[in-house]
């Protein structure tokens, strides 16, 4: 068999793999919409999306408290995780000696491999009592869930951000140092801006995990379907709502949980569009700066 034939077979294999992935995603989305649209049609899109009460026993389905809970948990987690992750990535890529890097990097990779239920159990046993004793209340809250998610997404954002920083050509650093800039000025004004699109990608992936996380959030968030008045109040996320009630849901309640999945899908799409817009804008600004 000739080399050209081998390459053609490999190309076809890769093509079918890509097409299969797209088809699977389309099938999953179609299934979710097929099962969820009856509930949205029955209740009404705006009543379902902006309703304040979730009471399946009385046929009342409003997911706004869960949307607020999802956004609140994700925003707080990113607010805490992004600075820590980026600084950690800069330290690993540009500052840490090789001996320390050989210890820290496997440790972060190990954190990424821990099952979410373990994080939830640690939060339940340690973090919830700490929050209760320190701030009062029940301890199950938006802040508690955000702290757990911060630890969970930190390895992802750190690893990808470090790769982005390491991918910057060495000539950038050498040129900056040759012009008299210090090491920190080079990191701040040259290396980090050039790696910003990759850092934004890392944040997008971390955000995706934070939005989609279920088990750990269920264990520490409190799961109360009410709009919180503060970050110390219990909340329920969209994913938690599906996981908690899918086991016994029937009829319209069953369809409403799939409709919750549709809302979650739309929320993720909106967040990804915003994040991708920021990423594209940063690339354009960097490109214009290089010109």
pLDDT tens by residue, 104-147? 888 888 887 888 889 889 899 999 999 989 888 888 989 999 99
Do residues 112 and 155 make contact, with C-beta atoms less than 8 angstroms apart? yes
pLDDT tens by residue, 37-89? 998 898 888 889 888 888 888 888 989 999 999 889 999 999 999 999 999 99
CA gap 198, 204 in Å, rounded? 10
Q: What are phi and psi for residue 228, nearest 5 degrees?
A: -75, 150
Q: Which domains does the chain have, with CATH numbers?
A: 49-290 (1.10.3720.10)
Predicted TM-score (pTM) of this structure: 0.83
Of 259 and 247, the one with more pLDDT:
259
What pLDDT score does 286 carry? 59
Q: DSSP string of 162-216?
A: HHHHHTS-HHHHHHHHHTT--HHHHIIIIIHHHHHHHHHHHHHHHHHHHHH--HH
């Amino acid at each position: 068999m000739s080399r050209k034939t081998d390459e053609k077979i490999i190309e076809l294999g890769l093509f079918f793999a890509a097409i299969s992935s797209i088809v699977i995603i389309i099938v999953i989305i179609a299934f979710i919409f097929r099962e969820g649209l009856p509930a949205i049609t029955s209740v009404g899109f705006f009543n379902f999306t902006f309703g304040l009460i979730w009471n399946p026993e009385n046929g009342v389905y409003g997911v706004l408290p869960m949307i607020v809970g999802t956004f609140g948990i994700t925003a707080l987690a990113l607010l805490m995780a992004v600075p820590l992750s980026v600084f950690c990535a800069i330290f690993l890529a540009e500052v840490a000696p090789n001996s320390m890097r050989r210890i820290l990097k496997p440790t972060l990779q190990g954190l990424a491999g821990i099952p979410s239920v373990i994080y939830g159990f640690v939060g339940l046993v340690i973090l919830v009592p700490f929050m209760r004793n320190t701030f009062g209340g029940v301890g199950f809250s938006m802040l508690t869930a955000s702290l757990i998610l911060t630890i969970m997404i930190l390895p992802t954002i750190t690893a990808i951000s470090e790769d982005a920083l390491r991918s910057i050509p060495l000539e950038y650093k050498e040129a900056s140092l040759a012009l008299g800039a210090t090491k920190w000025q080079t990191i701040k004004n040259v290396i980090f801006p050039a790696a910003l699109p990759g850092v934004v990608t890392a944040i997008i992936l971390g955000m995706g995990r934070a939005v989609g996380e279920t088990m750990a959030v269920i264990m520490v968030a409190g799961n109360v379907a009410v709009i919180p008045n503060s970050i110390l109040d219990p909340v329920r996320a969209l994913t938690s709502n599906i996981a908690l009630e899918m086991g016994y849901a029937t009829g319209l309640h069953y369809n409403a949980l799939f409709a919750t999945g549709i809302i979650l899908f739309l929320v993720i799409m909106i967040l990804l569009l915003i994040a991708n817009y920021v990423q594209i804008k940063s690339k354009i600004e960097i490109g214009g700066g290089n010109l």
